[in-house]
């Protein structure tokens, strides 16, 4: 069973945080596709980490490990549409499946939804640098 390694060195995260991300995002291939939203990563990354969570998930999109959707909602607990990001935001009013009203685009709520399509594992890439003899003299 192979997992794609996703290096997170540029995010400067501790091993504990990375393990938390693996517990949240990584999953066995049999559970794919697996859906996750940036807010789901706050357990691992801490509060106010939405932007960082989005950056990490966009990295998965860039690596072809995830597809990105715009989740369109109005009332809490209902989803009107999961639109592929390439289709952009809705232009016309959409019917809310919770309250049944037609809602104008400016009154809709939007979030990003990522569908993980490849088994992956986060890690900090080990550096290639081996201690040189001079390092031991300090
Ligand atoms: Zn509604």
Q: Find the 105 Cα to ligand 1 centroid distance in Å.
A: 12
Task: Indicate the domain borders of the chain.
Answer: 4-125
- Inform me whether the pLDDT recorded for 123 exceeds 80: yes
| pLDDT confidence bin for 132, thresholds 50/70/90 | low
Check: pTM over 0.75? Answer yes or no: yes
Can you give the pLDDT at residue 138?
46
- Inform me whether the pLDDT recorded for 80 exceeds 90: yes
7: which residues sit within 8 A by CB, 6+ positions away?
123, 124, 125
Q: What is the pLDDT of residues 82-118, one digit of tens each?
A: 999 999 999 999 999 999 999 999 999 999 999 999 9
Q: Find the 81 Cα to ligand 1 centroid distance in Å.
A: 12
Q: Find the 72 Cα to ligand 1 centroid distance in Å.
A: 11
Average model confidence (pLDDT) across the chain: 91
Q: Where are the strands (E) in the chain, listed by range?
A: 4-7, 34-36, 66-73, 81-84, 94-95, 102-103, 109-116, 120-123
């Amino acid at each position: 069973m192979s997992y794609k390694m996703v290096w997170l060195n540029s995010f400067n995260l501790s091993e504990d945080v990375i393990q938390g991300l693996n517990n949240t995002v990584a999953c066995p291939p049999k559970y794919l596709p697996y859906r996750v939203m940036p807010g789901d990563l706050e357990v691992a990354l801490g509060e106010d980490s939405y932007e960082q969570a989005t950056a990490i998930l966009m990295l998965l999109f860039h690596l072809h490990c995830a597809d990105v959707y715009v989740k369109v909602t109005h009332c809490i607990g209902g989803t009107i549409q999961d639109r592929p990001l390439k289709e952009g935001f809705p232009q016309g009013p959409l019917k809310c499946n919770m309250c049944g009203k037609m809602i104008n685009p400016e009154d809709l709520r939007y979030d990003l939804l990522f569908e993980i399509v490849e088994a992956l594992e986060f890690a900090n890439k080990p550096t290639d640098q081996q201690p040189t003899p001079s390092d031991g003299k300090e």
